[in-house]
Amino acid sequence: MTCPVCKKPTDPAYRPFCSRRCADVDLGRWLTGGYALPGDPAESTEPDDEPPPSPSWRH
């Protein structure tokens, strides 16, 4: 098995990587959005500018 970052043989202590450095490089890619899965855009979590509709039973 080869390291997915640098393609060197893996080290059992850092499997599937060859070293701590390559493991950290991979983690950095995940944390900065270097890896992304395709999919539908997420719905916005921002509140709308419009106030919520008032309940019709309260007049």
Residue 22 is labelled as binding a ligand: yes
Question: C-alpha distances in angstroms, 23 versus 8, 19, 26, 37, 56?
Answer: 13, 6, 5, 20, 57
Is 6 a known ligand-binding residue?
yes
Contact by Cβ (8 Å): 3, 9: yes
Binding-site residues sit at 3, 6, 18, 22
Annotated binding site for Zn(2+): 3, 6, 18, 22
